Structure 1
């Protein structure tokens, strides 16, 4: 699904030779740096770097990886991804089982006034509170965010910032593929997305990685209109690869009013709910 050689090639093509101190002229036909230029700037032999890009060199040292990260201008997320790819053959990470602890479900149900859900590294939604179910308009355990984004909703669907969302999702899946290269379900997901979406294929070929922990997220909900929310991702500390995701609205904003209206609807959006006030009874949660 992912390898060190491909990542190095895409990062090399991204570097501006002039910024690296290499004179250029109109006859230059290579996009980015040449292999020999990366090798020279990194302090490794050309033969060794060529073998790295061909997948024939194993176990590069920390010094070599540090030098490559510097020359290729990698950010913190890309640097961590580079190190994981370089060590794939040494230690394979086992794919998490995906079970949500009852205690976590209880915490999820206590989140009031904001959609909240638990996702795994494949972007499968494992559980969510009632407001999250109303936001996405479907049972959450059947939802995969990547499939929903690329194969079901499309550019004019639920996601108001669709193009930005696609960058985040592909970058996340690239990181997941580097961490779990032997996960067959992840490989199947990536294959389905590549078969069904031209945009996914183009973004995947770029080999960009992203680790989004927070930021704006906007939705075009068919019942309550535009919801401009703020997303916070909380990685669970148990090594499961799961994240608790909470989508909140600024106080006094139209999005806060929209969430209140959404919370007053039945799951099918047909009529106001007759449930007890949310502070009396926490929203229901769903689980696999």
Structure 2
């Protein structure tokens, strides 16, 4: 009686992929000069322990908490205003870049014609350009143009995130069932009506989830851009680090943690309402 072969047929491909991944990763580790062993050296451990000990207890005096609250509000305002401006560009750009509302695609069963693809190339190219430059680079440019303060951060977030949102929105519109929208357009409905009644209901939950996630990312980006003079929590953290005020840095990091947690809870709530 023949015994069943219990060997995993995918074992060899997985082994080859693992070896290939290690072969590709090793040069990167070598070029980046990664050496975790330096963390275990006695002098480095002593310095890290001394640095971390300065973070406790977190600062909680009234004057500092008032400054912290102002920095939190400024960070939230920067992220929210930047996202609002990004949406003004991302929504129309995503509709132009997507084939979901193409009359040609509706008449050809979802296939775009030559001219439809050609006309969408400049919009897709613009979205690629906007998201290819990191927001920290835009912030440095705008700090030189408009001076120190949150205005530079708002503009940097608006430019970079409009490219990100526009690309993902277009892909979301194309990923859902487009037959209702195509049927509406073939019946004589306008593109906006086809969007609101044929595309948006099926894409709303995913759009809201991604938008809130990007708003959370914008909050983190606002903190990072503060280190180049864009205001908010990041600028206060930079100032406290320069003065070796670890207790103040600890309080600001805790406040930042709460902000991210609240953004996550908001995303869950909105997804639950739209599900």
Q: TM-score, with normalisation over the residues of structure 2?
A: 0.19
Structure with the larger helix share: 2
Q: Which has the larger radius of gyration?
A: 2
TM-score (norm 1): 0.18
Comparing both chains, which one has the higher relative contact order based on Cα–Cα distances under 8 Å and sequence gaps of 6 or more? 2
